[in-house]
């Protein structure tokens, strides 16, 4: 997919539009699979929350991927997309026991990260196999909002509470078939994974009937030219050896699972917007686009970097622009960016817009959420229409204020 292909899509769209390159998603999946080819049983569970359009889910399901979900609605989407229930894992946080039970009744693998819920579920459903999510107390991740394995995190059962877990298992006679951890996102240092793996292996040894160990994900992807990323090939070589050695110690060949989201879809995505105005102040040149943090909140929420290119004038003279949106709050996508000269009416593309972008969009300022397009077999395919005014009103119930209220 070229810049001219993106420009053609942008011109035909009725507003901002997300575009995903299917070949990039497929190549990332194969890259991860090949990196761990030395492992006899490898399971890749795509993290649905990164990008949950059902066409994307169908594309990934066709590659024999499993699905990692965090809500009953994501489970339902997965089933609708063709994932079998035993190919889905449910890893929620802070949800009700009733939701967990409803998902368990669908035949989905349950992952619990709370002692109270573990005891309640085990007491009521001792024959349903359960995975436990541990907190390894490892600080990792590119941003405090996405570091989830440290001691103050709300996620996981502390490794210091494993004796309590064992007591619950003994008392309820429940079945533990997996152990899981997820330390954070945008983790660059391979040693973090390897250090956490030793904690996970030591925990796993305390459970005698495991089927799998889930290492979560959090692989760092590059956001700009010459940016550093997690060396998946090196991680695969080192972690595969440790995992295989552990299986020998455990006395059984277990399944090694990962739950990549950003790693699979981030670089495949582009967000295309139109420049409404070019505004020059005494100190700054603003390029104001027909979007805002209602469509792409990551730069404001995580201070994330998205490369911005002018696809209408890719070879123009470079100037410095601060790219902002149309929301009535500060919604700066990028400050003082060197971009090919921008004119009003030009289209600009935000790169690395495949993960946690559309799925975090909203109707703030009563703006429509954008369309989504999948580039597949060298052609664009519309996979979600832009919202309309009717969508804004849907599910709202109007009160008849003409009726008199009796005293």
Neighbours of 70 (CB within 10 A): 17
The structure tokens listed for 60 are 């990934």
Tell me which residue of 90, 77, 71 sits closest to 129, measured CA to CA.
90
pLDDT tens-place string over residues 385-398: 999 999 999 999 99
Considering only CA atoms, which of 72, 159, 175 is closest in space to residue 121? 175
**Rounded CA separation 110/105 (Å):** 10
Quote the tokens at residue 336: 């003082």
pLDDT digits (tens, 9 = 90+) for 270-290: 999 999 999 999 999 999 999
pLDDT in tens, the chain (407 residues): 999 999 999 999 999 999 999 999 999 999 999 999 999 999 999 999 999 999 999 999 999 999 999 999 999 999 999 999 999 999 999 999 999 999 999 999 999 999 999 999 999 999 999 999 998 887 544 444 434 444 567 888 999 999 999 999 999 999 999 999 977 656 677 888 888 889 999 999 999 999 999 999 888 888 888 788 889 999 999 999 999 999 999 999 999 999 999 999 999 999 999 999 999 999 999 999 999 999 999 999 999 999 999 999 999 999 999 999 999 999 999 999 999 999 999 999 999 999 999 999 999 999 999 999 999 999 999 999 999 999 999 999 999 888 776 65
Strand-pair partners of 133:
180
> Which region, left, alpha or beta, applies to residue 201 given φ > 0 means left and ψ of -120 to 50 means alpha?
alpha
**Block residue for tokens 């001792």:** 126
Which is the CATH superfamily of the domain at 269-386? Answer: Lyase, Ornithine Decarboxylase; Chain A, domain 1 (2.40.37.10)
Q: Are 108 and 85 in contact (CB under 8 A)?
A: yes
The predicted pLDDT at position 405 comes to: 64
pTM here is: 0.93
Q: Where are the domains of the chain?
A: 22-264, 269-386
Spatial contact of 290 and 344, defined as CB atoms under 8 Å apart: no
DSSP 8-state class, residue 367:
P
Residues noted as catalytic: 328
Q: How far apart are CA 312 and CA 274, in angstroms?
A: 10
Q: What is the third-level CATH fold of 22-264? A: TIM Barrel (3.20.20)
């Amino acid at each position: 997919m070229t810049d001219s292909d993106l420009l053609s899509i942008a011109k035909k769209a009725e507003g901002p539009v997300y575009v995903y390159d299917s070949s990039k998603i497929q190549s990332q999946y194969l890259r991860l699979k090949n990196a761990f080819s030395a492992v006899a049983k490898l399971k890749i569970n795509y993290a649905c929350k990164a990008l949950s359009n059902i066409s994307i889910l169908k594309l990934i399901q066709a590659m024999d991927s499993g699905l990692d979900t965090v809500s009953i609605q994501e489970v339902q989407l997965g089933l609708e997309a063709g994932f079998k229930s035993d190919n889905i894992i449910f890893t929620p946080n802070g949800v009700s026991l009733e939701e967990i039970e409803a998902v368990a009744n669908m035949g989905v693998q349950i992952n619990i990260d709370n002692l109270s819920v573990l005891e309640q579920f085990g007491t009521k459903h001792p024959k349903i196999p359960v995975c436990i999510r541990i907190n390894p107390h490892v600080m990792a991740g590119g941003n405090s909002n996405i570091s989830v394995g440290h001691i103050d995190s709300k996620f996981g059962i502390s490794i210091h509470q494993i004796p309590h877990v064992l007591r619950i298992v003994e008392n309820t006679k429940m079945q533990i078939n997996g152990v899981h951890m997820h330390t954070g996102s945008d983790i660059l240092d391979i040693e973090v994974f390897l250090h956490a793996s030793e904690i996970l292996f030591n925990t796993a040894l305390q459970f005698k009937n495991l089927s799998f160990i889930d290492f979560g994900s959090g692989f760092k992807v590059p956001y700009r030219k010459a940016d550093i990323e997690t060396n998946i090939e090196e991680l695969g070589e080192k972690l595969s050896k440790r995992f295989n050695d552990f299986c020998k110690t455990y006395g059984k060949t277990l399944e090694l699972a990962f739950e990549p989201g950003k790693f699979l879809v981030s670089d495949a995505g582009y967000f295309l917007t139109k420049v409404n105005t070019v505004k020059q102040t005494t100190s700054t040149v603003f390029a104001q686009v027909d979007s805002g943090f209602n469509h792409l909140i990551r730069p404001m929420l995580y201070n994330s970097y998205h490369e911005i290119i002018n696809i209408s004038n890719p070879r123009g003279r470079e100037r410095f622009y601060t790219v902002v949106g149309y929301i009535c709050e500060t919604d700066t996508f990028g400050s003082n960016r060197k971009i090919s000269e921008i004119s009003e009416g030009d289209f600009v593309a935000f790169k690395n817009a495949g993960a946690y972008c559309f799925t975090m969009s909203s109707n703030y300022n009563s703006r429509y959420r954008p369309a989504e397009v999948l580039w597949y077999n060298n052609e664009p395919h519309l996979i979600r229409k832009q919202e309309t005014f009717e969508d804004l009103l849907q599910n709202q119930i109007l009160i008849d204020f003409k009726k008199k209220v009796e005293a």
